[in-house]
Structure 1
Amino acid sequence: MTRPITLTASYEHCRRVNARHGRSFYLATLLLPEWKRRHVHALYGFARHVDDVVDATGPGSRAGRAAALDGVTARLEASMAGEPVRDPVLPAFVHTVRSFGIEHGDIEAFMSSMRADLTVTRYDTYRDLLAYMEGSAAAIGLMMLPVLETVPGAARTAREPAAELGRAFQLTNFLRDVAEDLARDRIYLPLEDMRKFGVREAELERGGAGPGMRELVAFEAERARLHYRRAREGIEMLVPSSRPCIRAAAALYGGILDEIAAVGHDVLGGRARVPRRRRAAIYVRHLVAASAAARAERRPPPAGSRHGRAR
């Protein structure tokens, strides 16, 4: 009988998934205190694992993907109930959920949006797309929040900015990945906006961005920037050692919008990437603050302080 994967191996698997598939985000996580990183990797690894299940391609893939997602759901429920499972990401994910009291409602919202990807391929309005992103993006930000930690009294207030950052990241990804999503017969550009700018699906399939398509992308990019601005106030609600990571992540993902703008908002001509030199510069810019904040948090309270007195 095959033994279930160990917790240590599961955390390492999630770290490798993050390093391989989320290079910009992985770079930002290096600014976190070491003990927090593995939990962030666990959340990313789980989200990526489920996303890969619903994105799988091949003959008869819709039925196969549905069955595979059912399998993930069943293993997740079993693992949450304390049963050992043979899954590379669930031991780390469930351990993180339990360790930080991550709300099960956020997990359920995420799984619901992933299941929607099996059947829903178009969104008529931006409101419809936002409803999808409540599970696929906002819920991820909310799951991350307990790991990142908030300053005293800010746990509830910080939820909406965390959700906004999740929306900003995903809308950025939608704009970057228009061609890739179209290959899976999915369009995450609201259809009413496509009609407003005179963009037809045939234009997306041809791969050449005309004036209307460029205007549409610029319009959606401004929406993403608005989400970034709304998320900004939440960074100060985090403990100091988590702020450099999130500032860097926002700069790295926001940089994708800058790269899209630099090519005239033509997202069909190639996948926008933040140059390696710029990514490195963003990381270095926040490294000193991250190191200082981590050292300060490790420092014991002064003798005689409220937290330092013997009880």
Structure 2
Amino acid sequence: MSGPRRRTLDDNATSLDLYDSAAQAAAAQVIRSYSTSFGLGARMLPKPMRRHIESVYAMVRVADEVVDTYRGDDADDVLDAFEAGVLAAMGGRFSTDVVAHAFGVTARAVGITRAQTDPFFASMRADLTVTEHDDESFALYVYGSAEVVGEMCLAVFLNTGAGPTPLPAVASAGARRLGAAYQKVNFLRDLGTDGGELGRSYFPGIAVDTLTNEQLAALVADCRADIEAARACLPALPRRAGVAVSTTIDIYTRLLDNIAALDAAELAGRRVRVPNTTKAVFAARNSWNSRRSGAQNAQ
């Protein structure tokens, strides 16, 4: 009796497609574990677009976890290794790191390049050494940590299924403003954690223990300006992408409203959030409005 035979697949491309799918499924688990807001938005997208957004989120989240959660003595080496893996996956075809592999599939499909990933990793690396920012370093940090991520997402929205093409300048500017807005709202929400546990102060000249209501109002106004600039660019997106982004905008606008309603002294001691039921209402309302608009336009 012969021993067990190892099955081999004749179609190697099919095998690689299966690995791509497995890597993308692992990336999807990251967004489900970490973000109800962006997870909800992703679920509103067509499946191919959703997979790419999940892969972008997973790559960004893993890098962020290295500098915000792990923070070990070798965190810089861990981040360097992850960045090298991401770059290799973007330029190759296979990675044993499933998050890097999934991101590589997405980057090649929609045209994400080192023009986005290099500034992103530079900002992540800054979190390991920089504890306070001036105006210049803050602008660079927000650009790398958030604005280029907005561009990555825009590439997914516009190029999924079409292949890599240059991003329209107006839409790209809107995506950067939205990424900046989300990042700065997160800074406000996490002001106490960043200033206490992590020992960081992102906003130039702003200290968690001396924040005034006037300073808070100015920061909120700056976030609102970014959001409104981004909202004006929504018509450039495919319909379902526009619905998904509108939903995340609504969630962050409500979060910002809740922050603005607080006294500055309260902000450091609590983490403001938006209930999941409210997020679901936003999603349902935007989906309904989009379908109704589409039906009216078809008449």
Task: Please give the TM-score of this superposition, normalised by the length of structure 1.
Answer: 0.81
Bigger RCO (CA 8 Å, 6+ sep): 1
- Mark the runs of 5 or more structure 2 residues left unpaired by the alignment: 1-15, 160-164
Q: Which residue of 2 aligns with 1:79?
A: 89
Tell me the distance in 1 between the aligned counterparts of 2:243 and 2:94.
36
- Mark the runs of 5 or more structure 1 residues left unpaired by the alignment: 204-209, 296-311
Q: Per the alignment, in what secondary structure is the counterpart of residue 233 of structure 2?
A: helix
| 1:36 and 2:49 aligned | yes
Does the C-alpha gap of structure 1 residues 34 and 78 become closer, same or farther in structure 2, counting only changes over 3 Å? closer
Report percent identity of matched pairs.
Answer: 31
Q: Per the alignment, in what secondary structure is the counterpart of residue 62 of structure 2?
A: helix
Q: Which residue of 1 aligns with 2:214?
A: 215
- After TM superposition, the structure 1 = structure 2 runs for residues 77-226 of structure 1, keeping only pairs within 5 Å, are 77-82=87-92, 84-125=94-135, 127-149=136-158, 155-182=168-195, 183-191=197-205, 194=206, 203=209, 212-226=211-225
Does the C-alpha gap of structure 1 residues 154 and 97 become closer, same or farther in structure 2, counting only changes over 3 Å? closer
Deviation at 1:136, TM superposition (A): 0.4
Contact 1:31-1:286 within 8 A present in 2 as well: no
Cα deviations by residue, 1:110-130 (Å, 9 ceiling, x for unpaired): 1111111111111123x4312
Q: Which amino acid aligns with 1:13?
A: A
Q: Which residue of 1 aligns with 2:80?
A: 70
Higher helix share: 2
Q: What is the root-mean-square deviation in Å for CA atoms of aligned residues?
A: 2.7
Deviation at 1:236, TM superposition (A): 1.1
Deviation at 1:292, TM superposition (A): 7.2
Does the C-alpha gap of structure 1 residues 293 and 40 become closer, same or farther in structure 2, counting only changes over 3 Å? farther
Task: Please give the TM-score of this superposition, normalised by the length of structure 2.
Answer: 0.84
Deviation at 1:81, TM superposition (A): 3.4
Q: Which residue of 2 aligns with 1:309?
A: none
Does the C-alpha gap of structure 1 residues 81 and 276 become closer, same or farther in structure 2, counting only changes over 3 Å? closer
Deviation at 1:153, TM superposition (A): 9.7
Tell me the distance in 1 between the aligned counterparts of 2:76 and 2:167.
39
Q: Which amino acid aligns with 1:42?
A: S
| 1:271 and 2:285 aligned | no
Does the C-alpha gap of structure 1 residues 142 and 293 become closer, same or farther in structure 2, counting only changes over 3 Å? farther
Q: Per the alignment, in what secondary structure is the counterpart of residue 222 of structure 2?
A: helix
Contact 1:32-1:290 within 8 A present in 2 as well: no
Cα deviations by residue, 1:144-177 (Å, 9 ceiling, x for unpaired): 1121118x99723211011000000000000000
Count of matched residue positions in the alignment of Structure 1 and Structure 2: 275
Tell me the distance in 2 between the aligned counterparts of 1:233 and 1:34.
26
Q: Per the alignment, in what secondary structure is the counterpart of residue 158 of structure 1?
A: helix
Q: Which residue of 2 aligns with 1:300?
A: none
Deviation at 1:34, TM superposition (A): 2.1
Does the C-alpha gap of structure 1 residues 267 and 187 become closer, same or farther in structure 2, counting only changes over 3 Å? same
